[in-house]
Structure 1
């Protein structure tokens, strides 16, 4: 899915300056203290489609956070003269590593048949989502 990645950006967490990755935004507030916090991030973006991947690395150098986003677009027109690109399907996967090395995963799909405020599905799995 990410063969055409064009850039990788490393940045620090909030303790060392402003983070580019809002890694706690989708984490339920009652679980904030239960996940391993990242100390730096690797951000990769695709050049041909709207897709990106963010990985968070902990103090031991292990991946403790990952987020994937893919947006599918289509041309739309209201008057058959002016066309614009509109999102028709958005899929996000966000995961946080727990201290026991399991992963808490949030999966959200928004599309033409799904409501625009799609509720994430939370699950716990043994490995990092790919």
Structure 2
């Protein structure tokens, strides 16, 4: 069965407790203390397609977290009479800034949404993903 693109659970920012973004959800638990925590967020959603971008800012107003999500959909039918929109491809890029200004990046692609489980690919980058 297909898994949701992301859950609605919210991880609160340490300072503000009103985080609208689950910024720690994909972060491996042993790395939680190693990233710069965001204190505020900027969220942008696309009205035409299923996509969003969230940017987390630290106490100095610099980016320390970002996530980009995109879902491609297609029309499906079980009986060739009733059609519905179903996700067919999901891509998520999530990144956290480390204190040394490198970025820990998780990239997940689900090409077969009904049967495949997401497998994150972690990497270190010198800059924030765009």
- Range class of TM-score, shorter chain: 0.7 to 0.9
CA RMSD in angstroms comes to 1.7
Measure how far apart 1:112 and its partner are: 2.0
Measure how far apart 1:13 and its partner are: 2.9
2:14–2:37 Cα contact (<8 Å) kept: no
After TM superposition, the score normalised by the length of structure 2 is 0.86
Measure how far apart 1:113 and its partner are: 8.1
Measure the CA separation in 2 of the matches of 1:87 and 1:121: 21
2:89–2:113 Cα contact (<8 Å) kept: no
Measure how far apart 1:116 and its partner are: 2.4
Question: Structure 1: any 5+ residue segments left out of the alignment?
Answer: 1-11
Measure the CA separation in 1 of the matches of 2:113 and 2:55: 30
Measure the CA separation in 2 of the matches of 1:114 and 1:82: 19
Measure the CA separation in 1 of the matches of 2:73 and 2:117: 18
Name the residue aligned to 1:46: 46
Aligned length: 119
Measure the CA separation in 1 of the matches of 2:16 and 2:72: 34
Measure the CA separation in 2 of the matches of 1:66 and 1:115: 27
Q: Deviations over 1:68-91 (max 9, x none)?
A: 000000000010000000000000
Q: Would you tell me which structure has more strand in proportion to its own residues?
A: 1
Name the residue aligned to 1:71: 71
After TM superposition, the score normalised by the length of structure 1 is 0.86
Q: Deviations over 1:51-73 (max 9, x none)?
A: 00000000011000000000000
Name the residue aligned to 1:8: none
Question: Structure 2: any 5+ residue segments left out of the alignment?
Answer: 1-11
Equivalent residue of 1:16, what SS? coil
